[in-house]
Each structure stands twice: as structure tokens, then as C-alpha cells.
Amino acid sequence: MVSQLKIKLGLVLAASFSLSSVFAHDPVFGQGPHTLFKGGFEVATELHSSKAGDKLDNEIGLDLRYGLTGNWTIGAEIPYSLKSSIGGSSSGIGDASVFTKYRFWRKDSLGLQESAAVSLKILTQTGDEVQSPALGTGTTDSIVGLSYGYEGRTWYRWASVRYRENGTTNAGLKRGSKTRLDFVVGVRPTLTRYTEPDTVWLLELNGELGDRATLNGNSVANTGGDEWFITPGIFWTIKNFAIKAGVQFPVVSNLNGSQEKSDYRAQMSFEWHM
């Protein structure tokens, strides 16, 4: 009986070790509850590209994260933006941000982990809002979020909601608040060991629900509205290195007044966990 108990304990420990190597997943555009281990560092280079009508925005970002505890991560993002439109082009440092995420619930079972987390991000005024197109918003904005994750050896599920509250410029312009909803499924077709390359295919449904902007308390026409996107993506890892990529394709666009609809949005990141 003692030997059987040792075998079962060994299987549980082996499964836990295996799971620890594959649970470092968050969706591409959505948000998951993943946090770093205590004392862990993550360095990521992120590439963003989006097009709406004649407006093309590209961004290269440096993302740094640190695990204060196994359930609490802090970090910062520094973006470099390149924007162009019919009116001209501009490039330079965009609005840098600091953020934190706290995982308040976690449930482990054999081959499965469920968890939930809250998050907060503060976007600062480091970007130049005078250039055209503007590289910054000219305001300090905040984003609060709640995320849930179901992460197994084969199947993944995530759901998240984030709310962005924007500040007011010196001219009295307040961009409309925005709510983001994300529903994601992922599948690992082939089970692998930690030392082997690992691939998870993702499919996201991303929604953005925006309020109208106001100028000195008055509603601004041609602002706000809703958009929904279908996003195929991939998460590829080997040991402590990961590549994450996806492309958003609009399926519903209900923008107020005369606004350019999104053509696409693409994102790719290269991540190192230390």
C-alpha cells in the first residue's frame, strides 16, 4: 500500500511539473489570469499593427514584468510608435504604462488548473500629442480588468472584461470610455514534454464597446460605437521562450456617425521567462 501511495504521489508531482511548463499562457488580444512565479522576470518585445481606412499604426513595445509573489505580478510597457495617414506621418515614444495583476483564486487538479485575476493598468502622458498623427493621448488613462482561465493539457478557455476610463485634455476633450470583452478557446493538438517545442492554437472573439467622446461636457459626433473581431492565433513555446501571434478580422462594425472601420489588427510578441 505504501508503494502504491508513492506511485500516486509521484504521478501527481510529475503532472504538476508538466503543467507548470504549459500554464504560462495568456491569449494574444484577450487577457488571462497568468502571473509569474515569485522572483521571476519576463522580458517581451511586442509588435502591433492596425489599419483603418487611410490610417496605419505600427508599434514596437518593450514589456517588462516581475513576480512579487506567485500570485502578484507588476510591470511596465514602453512603446515606440510609427503612424501614418493622408495628412502625414510621425514616429516616436508613445504613452508608456505601468500595470499590476493579482490572481485571487486558483484551483488545481490532475491535468487542470482554473484561476481568476484582477488587473490595473495606468497609461501615462509620455507620447507627443502635438504631432500629426498624434503619438500620445495627452491624458492619463486607466484600465481595470477581470479574467478567468481554464487551462488543461489539451484544452484552454479564457474569458475577460476590461474597462478603460480616459482622462480629459487641457482643451476639455474627454475620449469615450471603452469596454473590452474577450472569449477565447485554445487547443494543444499534440502533448509534449517541457524540453520539446509546444504549440497551442487559439481562436478569440474580441469585442470593443465605446462611448461617445465629450468636449466641455458636450457629446462629440462621429465618436464611439461597437466593433467585434474574430481572431485566429498561435502560442508556440520551447522551455522559457515563447512566440505569440494573432490577427483580428472585423465581423461586426457599428460605429457612430462617419468613422473609418477597422480593416485588421495584428500582434506578435517574443517572450523570455527568467
* In the chain, where the domains are located: 2-273
Residue 245 has pLDDT above 60, yes or no: yes
Q: How much is the average pLDDT of 147-173?
A: 96
**Residue 16: helix, strand or coil by DSSP?**
helix
| Model confidence band, residue 87 (pLDDT cutoffs 50, 70, 90) | confident
Q: How much is the average pLDDT of 165-194?
A: 95
Burial state string for 200-237 with b = 16 or more CB within 10 A and e = fewer than 16? bebebbbbbbbbbbbeeeeebeebbbebbbebebebeb
Task: Report the share of the chain in percent with pLDDT over 70.
Answer: 91
Q: Give tens-digit pLDDT for 100-144.
A: 999 999 999 998 999 999 999 999 999 998 888 999 999 999 999
pLDDT recorded at residue 15: 41
Instruction: Determine the residue type at 197.
Output: P
pLDDT recorded at residue 86: 85
Between the alpha carbon of residue 205 and those of residues 75, 160, 219, 222, 251, the distances in Å are 26, 11, 29, 25, 10
Q: How much is the average pLDDT of 55-78?
A: 97
pLDDT recorded at residue 130: 87
pLDDT recorded at residue 2: 42
Residue 18 has pLDDT above 70, yes or no: no
Instruction: Determine the residue type at 114.
Output: E
- And the C-alpha cell for 1? 500500500
Q: How much is the average pLDDT of 193-205?
A: 93
pLDDT recorded at residue 56: 96
Residue 20 has pLDDT above 50, yes or no: no
Q: What is the CATH number of domain 2-273?
A: 2.40.160.40
pLDDT recorded at residue 194: 78
Q: How much is the average pLDDT of 139-156?
A: 97
Distance CA 207, CA 179 (A): 8
Between the alpha carbon of residue 27 and those of residues 135, 158, 256, the distances in Å are 26, 8, 29
pLDDT recorded at residue 177: 97
pLDDT recorded at residue 82: 95
| Model confidence band, residue 17 (pLDDT cutoffs 50, 70, 90) | very low
**Cut 0.85: pTM above it:** yes
Q: How does the average pLDDT of the chain come out, rounded?
A: 91
